[in-house]
Amino acid sequence: MTTLFDAYTAGSLTLPNRIVMAPMTRVRSDADGLANASMARYYAQRATAGLLISEGVQPSKLGQSNPFTPGLHTDAQAESWRQVTDAVHINGGRIFAQIMHGGRISHPTTSGLQPVGPSAVAARDVLVFAPAGRLPAPVPRELTLAEVPQEAHSYAAAAVRASAAGFDGVELHGANGYLIAQFLSSNANLRTDRYGGSIAGRIRFAVEAAEAAADAIGADRVGIRLSPGAGIWDAHETDIPELYGALLAELARLDLAYLHLEASTDEQTLVGLRRAWPGTLIVNPTHPAGAETAGRKHADHWLGLGADLISFGRAFLANPDLVERLRADLPLAEADEETYFQGGDKGYLTYPHYQH
């Protein structure tokens, strides 16, 4: 019987266990998007995970979603990440950078640029993060047909910088209503050209971004995260089984390191996608918009349904020793939501290991 503590080979990496730290925005960088010593310590504290996936990292200034999030689009940013990857590797870990283009989920006061999207459609009833606080999501500028491939290739450019910074690979953020998910969406993407309309059109941007990253650093060092049916940031989809079945069929031919699925739709659909995906599957086993923190029972359930690896988000925030706590069936500490995005080390580096 497969357990969380069995070793596993994913792409070019051998993982000592099947526990993955999910990507989580923590807004601890500086205004220039540079990683810092606190971030290095934060990831090093959690290096016993089989794989760490970084917070979302913008591939360009245009791709920045939130203030004080890190980037991988300048030499200085890439160099700043070296302290993080070195700290993780010294502590025996492995780390992928999650490349996250915010698309329309941004604000001009955050990046200095008008956000872009597949269509000039604002996210409805959504307040985005901005330097002055939460503000209504603006109407994005629709990307021209010539610009769309350029934005797809921005993921590859960031992947090259991530490799130079010492990351073991990258994960493309195709989930939770950001740019890739906006192209998949039937209400954020109203295009009538080759990047919209039909299922084949709506999946094209995701496939081109994955192809570009795989060509840039090798497919065995590229994963992608998806959230079928999540509806986060007002990015809704129709024909979910057909849409994601078609997307996975195209991605499967690339032989990527892994597919990372959130439990954002019904279990039957997710199990169908497991059967359709021939490679390594990571499952994040609780709904991304829900209040439930994933634990051992959720992990065992999805391992039984065919997942290869299990990612934990909130549980890793408050439990830097999560692997040891799960192994010994120790109680999990709860994270303080007030400190998720406030900056500083409180609620970031201050969670202790379990005291026997």
Cα 147 versus chain centre, distance:
23
Pairing outcome for strands 309-312 and 19-21: parallel
How many C-beta neighbours within 10 Å does residue 224 have? 30
The DSSP secondary structure of 41-70, one letter per residue, reads HHHHHTTTSSEEEEEEEBSSSTT--STT--
| Residue 186 near residue 236 (C-beta atoms within 8 A) | yes
Helix (H) or strand (E) holding 284: strand 281-284
Full 3-state SS string of 292-323 = CCCCHHHHHHHHHCCCCEEEECHHHHHCCCHH
Lookup: tokens for 35? 């990683």
Q: Alpha carbon of 101 to those of 138, 178, 268, 281: distances in Å?
A: 16, 6, 30, 23
Q: Does residue 178 have an active-site annotation?
A: yes
Catalytic residue among 42, 155, 178, 348: 178
Lookup: tokens for 132? 């002055």
Helix (H) or strand (E) holding 216: helix 204-217
Helix H segments across 168-203? 179-184, 199-202
C-alpha 253/C-alpha 174 separation (Å) is 18
Classify residue 136 by burial, with Cβ atoms within 10 Å: 0-12, 13-18, 19+. middle
Q: What are phi and psi of 40, to 5 degrees?
A: -60, -45
Percentage helix, strand, coil for the chain under 3-state DSSP, each rounded to 5: 35, 15, 50
Annotated catalytic residues are 178
